[in-house]
Structure 1
């Protein structure tokens, strides 16, 4: 195997792998700690967490492993609150689902998201090894402060233009998110449909346009795919869907069952659950609700109670089943075993090269 890229080596890791943050439940502290203990970079998806919850989650990771880990937050501009007509249309669209699950009529809460500034202060308190962000760009002054606190800073791009913008802000690395990736699209300088570039196509072009290390994300499920990304200029790979079936992941039973039946054509891009385009497994909500969604984060807040009750009742047709296009390749393994398997598969590609 080639020498470990400096971004990973300076963190004390043993392989060029990142477990994607996956906010909303899958990336539990137990998953993050297990990934870190096996030599990869575990990431807490803290976009929906209160500052107090961020502190508690970081403490749980450190109770389980001394390995470095990262925290991810969302950086975006919040649009104005929807007008009454938009709100009525969205509430009416969700109403029958609420009734079916025995819930009262949907209500949009006054607070629809956490305060980024307060979340950042919690990050500065717990000082993870890595801070990453998505949906936008941080100011150079904030990134400088993160550096002064000893953190490596990673942005997320869906185009070459966005990768350049993040490099200009002073990040240490950029995650390049391909069209295949599960979860929310992270575009911030384009309409989402203007930046639907595949992982390998985006990676190869970004590698020729920026100097900071690139971390490939989207459709990467095994060591062969990691090797392909490295050969096209990536320093490492970020995997999310690959970890959803791990024992330590916070993936619900209904979510796991849906993943077990996935194929190469099972995913769609949808705004139905959060108002922001995201890739997940097709279900009743993605088929029926697309046209009535409020903008993010309002739709996300409006569907929160429905999703929570659906998870409790095991109703996958009402869950945001975020997954990438290669979801059918997910393996039900303990996280540490998955990391070791990925690292071994990657090493085997180099062994094959030497004996070919």
Structure 2
């Protein structure tokens, strides 16, 4: 049975988004909680045991936090298209003495069943899902175990589908958001709808609480989303350069490098649409990249890791929302309270 948000004692209307692959750290989650907000652990890509360890670390310090999982929504890739893309990328891999697996595409569900079981055994205050919809019986089981359940959506139609499986709240993501789009239909081009307008459309379609995300760069953006009907906003890119961020040095530096002048939506890195700083990789490989998640994610992963270690920003997935220039080097508590319009509040609680 869906519940309201009164079970979440959260005062600050600016939350810290889950950012898979390293940027979301326990310290970032704790910083959000210490100023009355809410932060998420990003369960995507993590082995279940590693996720369990992170949950235990966070739970030891704060009471209110979330965990995000990638719900299965595979995007199959044709074998011929996969091989052609691997062959196109191999010259880049040669620079790092890597041999890409051109003949075997890796498909998996990110240990979905094991992570779901983890959250049934050890419930957390809030569980959110991205990429796919969990089944209604899974949502009910999580709720019965004590988890509040959220679904990330990008359209009113997706919001209706999420309501049908019984979630408690919606995370409404505009196409301006950095990193992967949560779209349930990766082959369909994303509509460039301003976040406040999208929030209003979803609120009109579905009577569930809404958390808004995508392109939040200043207090005016927060206020506009709240006026449109959001209960809170959630920010990711704005936190990438904070003291608690786990983003790589190359990623953080690129956000303020004048050589990077815009963001683009691209499937070239992972086979799903995601917003990143435009670089040589997006320019060269977006035109030839097939859809295919998680196969392309696994294909390009070794190359991206090698490029990150070498600070080679030509080849790194530099996830960033449209407001990326607003990311500052400061404590995460200050970023969150500043975006909420209360910059002095960061000093009221321990960071």
Is the TM-score greater than 0.5? yes
Q: Does the 8 A contact of 2:337 with 2:344 survive in 1?
A: no
2:348 counterpart residue number:
none
In structure 2, distance between residues paired with 1:24 and 1:115: 15
1:276 counterpart residue number:
272
Structural mapping, 1:1-356, within 5 Å = 9-63=6-60, 65-80=61-76, 82-83=78-79, 85-106=80-101, 108=104, 110=106, 112-189=108-185, 191-193=187-189, 195-261=191-257, 266-290=262-286, 291-293=288-290, 295-345=292-342
Q: Give 5+ residue unaligned stretches, structure 2.
A: 346-351
CA deviations over 1:198-234 (Å, ceiling 9, x no partner): 2122111112121111111111122221111111111
Select the structure that is richer in helix. 1
> Quick one: structure 1 residues 163 and 262, their matched pair in 2 at CA, closer, same or farther if it must change by over 3 Å?
farther
Q: Which segment is superposed worse, 332-341 or 175-184? A: 332-341
RMSD of aligned C-alpha atoms?
2.3
In structure 2, distance between residues paired with 1:264 and 1:227: 28
- How many residue pairs get aligned? The number is 341
Q: Does the 8 A contact of 2:82 with 2:290 survive in 1?
A: no
In structure 2, distance between residues paired with 1:141 and 1:346: 42
Q: Give 5+ residue unaligned stretches, structure 1.
A: 1-5, 349-356
Shift of residue 283 of structure 1? Answer: 0.7
CA deviations over 1:126-145 (Å, ceiling 9, x no partner): 32110000112122211111
Shift of residue 115 of structure 1? Answer: 2.2
Q: Does the 8 A contact of 1:265 with 1:325 survive in 2?
A: no
Q: Does the 8 A contact of 2:240 with 2:247 survive in 1?
A: yes
> Quick one: structure 1 residues 263 and 216, their matched pair in 2 at CA, closer, same or farther if it must change by over 3 Å?
farther
Q: Which segment is superposed worse, 68-77 or 186-195? A: 186-195
CA deviations over 1:164-186 (Å, ceiling 9, x no partner): 11112211110111121111111
Flag as ranges the 4+ runs of structure 1 deviating above 6 A: none
> Quick one: structure 1 residues 135 and 204, their matched pair in 2 at CA, closer, same or farther if it must change by over 3 Å?
same
Shift of residue 32 of structure 1? Answer: 1.4
Shift of residue 106 of structure 1? Answer: 4.3
Q: Does the 8 A contact of 1:272 with 1:293 survive in 2?
A: yes
Shift of residue 298 of structure 1? Answer: 0.3
In structure 1, distance between residues paired with 2:332 and 2:153: 26
> Quick one: structure 1 residues 263 and 17, their matched pair in 2 at CA, closer, same or farther if it must change by over 3 Å?
farther
Shift of residue 77 of structure 1? Answer: 2.7
Report the 3-state secondary structure (helix = DSSP H, G, I; strand = E; otherwise coil) of the residue aligned with 1:215: strand
Q: Does the 8 A contact of 1:37 with 1:67 survive in 2?
A: no
Shift of residue 191 of structure 1? Answer: 4.0
